[in-house]
Amino acid sequence: MISQGVMYFFGLLAILSSLYILFTNNILYAAFSLVVTLLSVAILYLAAGAEFVGVTQIIIYVGGIIVLMIFGIMLTNEQRVKTNKKAAHNKFMAFVISISIFSILLYAILRLNFGDTKIGVEGNVKELGLALMTEYLLPFELAAVLLLLVLMAASVIASRKKEIN
Amino acid sequence: MVEFYFIVSAFLFSLGLAIVLTRKNAIFALIGIELMLNAANLNLIAVSSDTMEGQFFTLFVIVIAAAEAALALAIVLKVYQYFKTINLNEINQLKG
C-alpha cells in the first residue's frame, strides 16, 4: 500500500510536468516531460489498486506512444529558429477557456459528497483477467480487431505509393 | 483521497485543453489530447474501488488512445510530406 505522501508527491509531479509541456517551446522536451506525467499517472493508478492498468499504462504509453511521437517529431522537425518565434497562438482565449473549465470542475468536485468512498483496494489482477475473458469478451475482441485495422491503416497511410507503370 | 484524484484529473484536463488550443504544431496537439485522455482515465480509476468497471473502461480507453496516436502520426507524416509543414494554421486545403 502506497502512503498518502507518495500519492500527493506524484500528483504534484504530474501537474508540474504537464505545466512544463504547456510553457516549453522545444517539442522534444515536451515529449520527455510527457513521459514524466504518464509515469506519475501510472504510479497514481498503482496507488489506487489498479496494478494491471498501471503497468499497461507504462508499457503502452511510455513504451509505445511516446516512441511513436518522438519518431514523428524527428521526422517532421522544422528549423527550430523559425518555429520558436511564434509557437503558440490564441493564448488569451485558451487561458480563459481552460481556467473557466477548471473552476467549474473544481466547484463541482468540492460540492460532491464522496461519503466514505475508499481508494486503494488490494490487487485484483486475477478477477480482471477472468472478467476480460467472460463478461467483457465482446469489447475485448472488438479492441483486437480495431488494433489490427489501425495497424494496417497506419502502414497504408504512411507508406509512399508506388508509381504504377 | 478521491477528491485529490479528481482535482489532479481536472487540472490535467484543463492543461491538455490549453495545449490543444494554443499550440500550432500538430504533434503538440496530440500530446494535449493524450493528457486529456489520461485525465479521464484517472477519474475512472479513482472511483473503481468497489466494482472493477472503471478499470475495464480505462483499459479500453488506453487501447483507443494507442490506435488514435498511431493513425494520427501516420496522417501527420503524410501531411508533412505534402505540405512540408505541420503548422496547423498553414494546412488549410483539403484537396491533396
* Burial of B34 (C-beta count, 10 Å sphere; 0-12/13-18/19+): buried
Q: Which helix (H) or strand (E) holds B18?
A: helix B2-22
Better-predicted residue by pLDDT, B52 or A147 = A147
Interface probe with A: pick from B23, B80, B82, most Cβ of A within 10 Å = B23
Best of B7, B13, B14, B79 to disrupt the A interface (most A CBs within 10 Å) is: B14
Q: What is the pLDDT of residues B78-90, one digit of tens each?
A: 888 888 888 888 8
Rounded CA gap, B28 and B18, in Å?
A: 11
* ipTM for this model: 0.90
Residues of chain A in contact with residue B56, where contact means CB-CB under 8 angstroms, are 128, 131-132, 136, 139
Looking at the complex, does the CB of residue B82 fall below 8 Å from at least one CB of chain A?
no
pTM of the model: 0.88
Of the candidate ranges A37-41, A55-59, A103-107, B46-50, the one whose mean pLDDT is the lowest: B46-50
Distance CA A25, CA A41 (A): 23
The residue in chain B having the minimum alpha-carbon distance to the alpha carbon of residue A126 is: B52
Mean pLDDT of A142-149: 94
Give the count of alpha carbons within 13 A of B82, CB side only.
17
Q: What's the confidence (pLDDT) of residue A81?
A: 47
**pLDDT grade for A49, boundaries at 50, 70 and 90:** confident
Identify the sign of the CA torsion B68, A44, A31, A59: negative
B23-66 residue pLDDT tens: 888 888 999 999 999 999 999 988 887 778 888 999 999 999 99
**Total beta-carbon pairs less than 8 A apart between chain A and chain B:** 218
Compute the mean pLDDT over every residue in chain A, rounded to the nearest whole number: 85
Contact B85 A139 (CB under 8 A): no
How many residues can be counted in chain B? 96
